[in-house]
Structure 1
Amino acid sequence: MHDGADPVHDVEDVPVRPRRKGIYILPNLFTLAALFGGFYAVVMAMNGQFEQASYGIFIAAVLDSLDGRVARMTNTQSAFGEQMDSLSDMVSFGAAPALIMYEWALKGLGKLGWIAAFVYCSGAALRLARFNTNIAVVDKRFFQGLPSPAAAALIIGFIWVMDDAGFKGASKIDWLAWSAFALTLYSGLTMVTNIPFYSFKDVSFKRTVPFIVIVAIALGIAVINIHPPIVLFALFLVYGASGYAVYAYKRMKGRPVSVIATSTEEPDEKGLHH
């Protein structure tokens, strides 16, 4: 007995549920670990353990430099990963360093202290937002402004050096509190400038290098181990000032100082769209 229903058409009329998109686990594990480093650093600072807080931020910076490379090497890039990376950076290199610096020294300055911490935190947010929107038109060889991990390393490195030197209760030591104030403002404002900072993105780990390069790397590791806080902070200081040196050099030579390309046709912008 036929009731007029067509079983074939009935099956075809059932809406097919769209397949859910998965999330690549490997690069996001690095990102989550970096996020944990920032969170751990804040918790340690709240407990007065500023050396441990420094370790948390530095580990987060190392992991942050790896997640993108891992994604590219394993071909697991995704829009989700990009957003997750930005949010992790805001916590680990924006909010966390500002809160740690405030807890360590700036709270002794009253309103000026938390204003400096907020300038740094908002500078990191603005820099990350600008980076995400300008990524297609920026010269890949340079960052536009001081990158947030480097800014975080600069102020956390200062805390690490001073804490290692035995300066406790920095918020009650005037010269130290004001030094922290100046460095926090410098780092926060330099993130939102147009000063070019070398990105090291044109360094390829797949290319062969002369033997002397490996020797130099080994010597570098040995030098760092002489006294990690001072050596690393010195490197962060050099990098934190390098952008202004590049800017001044380009101005003196009459070269373009902007890392933003507005056209692929202008000869001055050759190489910006690789």
Structure 2
Amino acid sequence: MFIKSIPSLLTLGNLVIGMVAILMSIHGHFNEAALLVVIGMLLDGLDGRAARLLHAESEFGKQLDSLSDLVTFGVAPAVIMYQVLLSHLGLLGAVLAIWFPICGTLRLARFNVETKSSSYFVGLPITAAGGILATMALTRPVLHPAIVILPLGMFILSVLMVSRVRYPNFKRVAFPKSAVVLVPLFVVIVFCAIKFHFIRANWIIFGVLAIYAVYGMLRGVRRHRIRRARGMSSNDVEMDGEVEPSSPFREM
């Protein structure tokens, strides 16, 4: 019985990490808070794999995962960005801080009700958006003018979450069973490396996730141009043979 609970415990661990990240950012520990969001990303990928490995997938687990994701990748990154920069923008900053988790909530709700593909996500996953935002907040000292670039980037990430842009789904990529043991060890090693300044991982993580976000946008533009050139509507079968899934959020 305990074995079947492991995926849910990993998901709850992700939720705890999100709450701790919020508290740490409130107290000014922005680097550590952003790092916790990144560690939460690893746990988020691990709990689903553990559920499939242990044959413990359930509707309860899916809903628990969404609620945890909202805290760790929706609320926590928004609080980090608010503490780092948005608090200086008055009402606009408050609106942006609220707007991001709202879009994340819509993204998660849409994901839970629409037909899913094993090869792609519709809209930027909140996990990636939250990781980008948390690490992007740490780039403020080198961005000029950061007071314009960072809020604009936050708004774009929010819109991408509720867009119809497709992103590759790496969650179904096969990994050896030993990953269940090795991933937590990897998390500890990365945490220690960053904590003691052996590496500047925030830039690496931000760069990788930003490339993922931009890739989806460029791919979406390319698909749109090809569809127009072929005279195809958005309801037609597209160039890769996939059909756009129906959704109550289609117009978003």
Q: Please classify the TM superposition score into its range, dividing by the shorter chain length.
A: 0.7 to 0.9
Distance 1:257 1:150 in 2: 29
- Report what 1:156 is aligned to: 134
Residue 147 in 1 paired to residue 142 in 2?
A: no
Decide whether the 8 Å contact of 1:157 with 1:232 is kept in 2: yes
Matches within 5 A, 1:20-31: 24-31=4-11
2:95 pairs with 1:125: no
Selected match of 1:234 from 195, 204, 207: 207
Question: C-alpha distance in 2, partners of 1:40/1:75?
Answer: 30
RMSD: 3.2
The answer to whether the 8 Å contact 1:251/1:257 transfers is no
| CA offset digits 1:175-197 (Å, max 9, x no partner) | 22222211111111110000001
CA distance in structure 2 between the aligned counterparts of 1:83 and 1:138, rounded to whole angstroms: 15
Q: 1:82 to 1:202 in 2, by over 3 A?
A: closer
Letter in 1 for 2:211: V
Return the TM-score normalized by structure 1.
Answer: 0.72
Q: Shift of the alpha carbon at 1:22?
A: 9.2
Q: Is 2:45–2:171's contact at 8 Å kept on the other side of the alignment?
A: no
Q: Between Structure 1 and Structure 2, how many residues are aligned?
A: 222
The reply to whether residue 110 of structure 1 matches residue 83 of structure 2 is: no
Q: In the alignment, which residue of structure 1 is the partner of 2:167?
A: 197
Q: Which residue of 2 aligns with 1:60?
A: 40
Paired residue type of 2:205? L
2 CA distance for matches of 1:32 and 1:240? 27
- After TM superposition, the runs of 4+ consecutive aligned structure 1 residues lying more than 4 A away are 255-258
1:175 to 145, 148, 164: 145
Please name the residue that 1:187 is paired with: 157
Q: Which position in structure 2 is the counterpart of 1:49?
A: 29
Structure 2 regions of 5+ residues with no counterpart? 178-189, 246-252
TM-score (norm 2): 0.78
Looking at structure 2, the residues matched to 261 and 205 of structure 1 have their Cα atoms a distance apart, in angstroms, of: 34
Contact persistence 1:146–1:190 (CA under 8 A): yes
**Does the 8 Å contact 1:102/1:114 carry over to 2?**
yes
CA contact (8 A) 1:39 1:92 kept: yes
CA contact (8 A) 1:261 1:269 kept: no
Amino acid at match of 1:196: R
